[in-house]
Amino acid sequence: MILLKDVSYEWEDGRTALKNINLEIKKGEFVLISGKSGSGKSTLGSVMNGLIPHYYKGKMKGEAFASGKDISKLLLHEVGHIVGTVFQDPRSQFFTTTTDEEIAFGLQTICKSRDEIKQRVEEVYVELDIEELKGKSVFELSSGQKQKIAIASIYAMNPKVLILDEPSANLDMKATFDLFLILEKLKKKGTT
């Protein structure tokens, strides 16, 4: 599902973040990448979701494929249909002010009809078992609830691959456990 062949990446300032990375992640696999701060985990995520080379303009070597397609030859939004990303600070990716609108937002960008969107938002609340968050202002959510909505908004678009960057970093024990339950559901549905 994800294939990296001898990938190296140097940021614009000349700093090397990745060196000769070879990695294959098969469909449905659940992979944890760990390493100390600054070791290149987020950079690796950016190679897999296409921000490198489409948005960040450092120097990339090697090849990266998602679902068999060369990421560098796709448009960024095309990569986005395959690989969804929940960034480290979920607040940084909120575009709207309510949970319903937030889950609908991504669906609007992929041109779904009003009825389809409404139905999908309902489905997502049920499938991820987060119906208690329906119709809330995003400002009244806890960190854990924000994380759930961030995941739900990406999940709604049905990406084959989901990348979560340090998803439990800002969560307490209970919220971390809830997050694990959601990840388990996503894995059961075959998400890589």
Q: Which residues bind Mg ion (CB under 5 A)?
A: 41-42
Contact of 191 with 143, CB cutoff 8 Å: no
Decide: is 99 part of the binding site for ligand ADP (CB under 6 A): no
Backbone angles phi, psi at 130, to 5 degrees: -125, 35
Residue type, 106: G
Residue 41 interacts with ligand ADP (CB under 6 A): yes or no: yes
Residue 167 is given by DSSP the state T
Residue 85 in the binding site for ligand ADP (CB under 6 A): no
- Cβ atoms of 124 and 156 within 8 Å: the answer is yes
Residues 4-23, interacting with ligand ADP (CB under 6 A): 11, 13, 15, 17
**Helices 114-127 and 99-109: angle between axes, nearest 10 degrees:** 120
**x/- binding map, residues 138-177, to ligand ADP, per CB under 6 A?**
----------------------------------------
User: Choosing among Mg ion, ligand ADP, none, which partner's interface includes residue 28 (Cβ < 5 to 8 Å by kind)?
Assistant: none
How far apart, in whole angstroms, are the C-alpha atoms of residue 103 and residue 110? Answer: 13
Closer CB to Mg ion, 105 or 171, in the complex: 171
Q: Indicate which of Mg ion, ligand ADP, none lies near residue 38 (CB less than 5 to 8 Å, by partner kind).
A: ligand ADP
| Residue closer to Mg ion (CB basis): 46 or 153 | 46
Beta bridge partners of 69: 66
32 sits near ligand ADP (criterion: CB under 6 A): no
DSSP state of 134: T
- Residue 162's CB: how many other CB atoms inside 10 A? 18
Sole window of 33-41, 75-83, 132-140, 168-176 interacting with ligand ADP (rule: CB under 6 A): 33-41
